[in-house]
Structure 1
Amino acid sequence: MHTPPFRLADTTRLKLSGDDIADTGLRVADPCCTPAKVAVQNTRRRARLAELDGNLHCSIIGTCLSTHELRKLVPKFTGLDRRDASDLEIHHCAVELAIDGGAGAKALHKLLDEHYAAAIRRFDKADDDVALLALWDEALRNGDIPPAYWALMTHPYATLHVRQKAFGELHMLSHLVGAANRADIRRLVALEAENAELKEKVERQQSRLQEISMQRDATIAALNAQIAQLTELATRRTPAGDAGLEAELQHLREKLTDADQRVALHTSRREAAEQRVQQEQGAAAALRKSRDQALAQLKVMQSECDALEQATVDAAEDLNGADTRRASLASVRGKRIVYVGGRPGSNAALKRLVGAAGGDLVVHDGGVEDRKGLLAAALPGANIVVFPVDCIDHDSMNTLKRVCERHQIDYHPLRTASVASFVELMARLHPEHLAQLGNPPASAFCLRHG
């Protein structure tokens, strides 16, 4: 600044206010030569609704404002009818107003600020994005989502990363709410069907009770009419007939009481009959289920008996020198079968049958006397593995399945440890199926790891 063409006044001799003198006590320039003071303001402020990214408006409007509130505000700035417009149209127009940034956006912003003033004051305490995210996480745990979402989106320290994180978490919450609503809808449909059935049953019972009540009322009315007639006749007769009228009147009263008792008895019997019907229906369903299970088990046992009988006939023919190529156990000829579990008596019989048919049966008791470590070593090279489910421990069965799947060995569970179950399985397995087993592939078996 150029030096003025006049001498400045000595301000040290003037009585000045404290605002014109610096704290250091130095002389200050004349006010006419001092530049105007510029107030330094904080440029960080809360974002306006219209300044936010357009992709955030839908989530903010849908989460932070109810449809009732939007239905009162949006028609003031659009041509929508408040009563006829759908919720989707109201929401769509509110998002468009927020994007346009006009008076509608200002009204929406003002409404949101008024609703969530407390949350805005709470979030104003955050002085960086880390503290802001901490407040947001606390709101998520408490379930107070709408106030926290609006306060976070417009906060001065809400960076792009912070808004994207909040938007993503709100988006995933909407998926969880939708899945829960679908489950609630399914339960509601089932409950409505059950409710309709119960209502129909109650209506039938009410109709029956109403019918019984109408019959009782009709009977009472008829008896009252008879009583009235008899009373009128009694007043006209001589005193000599009063005794007979009184007796007839007492008889009618007793008849009326008896009718009431019969109605009550029939009502209690009907209720007891309905209860017995429900109990009988449950018992019938249980009996049907038990019968189906018994029939299935009978069918299996019949097939086992047939197979055992056929094997016995084939063994008899074999002893007589007949051709046994079509025998039930001929399919195991030249095959190596591993039998795990069972009982000693039946296992010995099975070993003799398979040996007589030209096969090789390797028996392992599943760990009772034989070491379980030998179980995995006996499986490689086997054509088929068989084990009875009623005579084997779970550990051996799980180990057996795992090793068979690893070495691609066909395995079959038996219903029982009987000879009949084994013979039925061998007869049921088609010979071509066993032939396909052939020679098993080269095994990568390890004595240590199985």
Structure 2
Amino acid sequence: MCDAQTTATGALILSSFKGKRKLWELTSKLLCPVIGTCLTTTEIRKLAEKIADNEVARKSDYWLHTWVVSNCDSKHRLSVAVQKHLDRKFAAAIKRFGQVKCRDELKRVWQQHIERGASAEALWALLTHPLCDLPTQDMAYEAIHMLSHQIGAGQRADLKRLHDAEKELVALKKSLDKSQQKAHQTISDKDRQLQLMQQQLADLKAENLRLKEHNQVLAQQDAPHNHSSQLQQLRNELASKTSAVEVLDRQKVQWQQKLQASESNVLGLTQKLQQQQQETRALEGFVKQSLSPCNGCSADSCRDCPDLKGQKILCVGGLHRMTDQYRELVSRCNGEFSHHDGGVEDSRKRLDALLWSADAVICATDCISHDAYYRLKRFCKQHNKRHLFIPSSGLSSFAKAMDDVANEVSCISL
């Protein structure tokens, strides 16, 4: 129920609600953004299987969204199930909002959640709060409406970054193929040359041994004076063969070193390609999840989007202009985002406080001070804090790190 105020003309104006408001008590204008923002496609399908049947759950994403919205304007099994699910999902936010005792404080807490990307939990906790009057709910509706436009702009930017990443991946594959072909040809040539030199070396060693044995026989015999010139000739030939063997030994070592360098180069290019492919797949998952018909719902399936389960993610370093995009990725993955610029303007004390409160730390090593880097690394090892180092501030590297955090991949140390 709600309080009512009467204007001078006798018109009745709803001002605020007594007690916690239910889903079916919201106006029809609010149901669409609430369902679209607060429920994922996977959650809607599970509710459809539970309340209706498997045939309904296999309908399209848009059909399911419309079905839930149209059936939540009154109290029955579906609306009650959605109400219970949202209360469980956003219990922490409801508790935080429940501590607010005045309308100004309610608006301030709402704005804090919006600024850190927690729009879904903030929307549900605000609209069901007893102090939420009509002007406050209109403010929330307008904010979510404009946020949907910003998400649309972000989708276009994500698609462009994905296109650029795919082009880079194709170029890298071509470069790797050429390098591999060249390396394989070089290795093949070096193998043939090495085999030839080894055969020559074996022949020379055999000849050298024969000459040594012959020299020893001549030395043991009391050869006549006319054999001295032949003996000297054999000694000179032995010295020449020994020098040739030494040259071949050095060449063999050089070819072996070049062969090892070629194999190392091929391995490095292969690892770089694998890293690029992983980052591209992670970015593709976020782009698919962002192509939603209504406020962030996945057009294909939310199963591709990693679930951080409410973890607090701290990003240290990175480009300042990418902070909003990092925040958006963390928000889409059901996480809380915080940032420290790595020592450019933010203080060292603030870094320590953020490290204590974070569940996982992602550090962009291409844009961070030495002091912040070593303080972060030392702190995370001492306190067994999950941390990952990414080589660049690009969105694809950050998306890959988000996927690793959600899947509890071991931390990467540099």
- Work out whether the TM-score is over 0.5: no
- TM-score when scaled to structure 1? 0.41
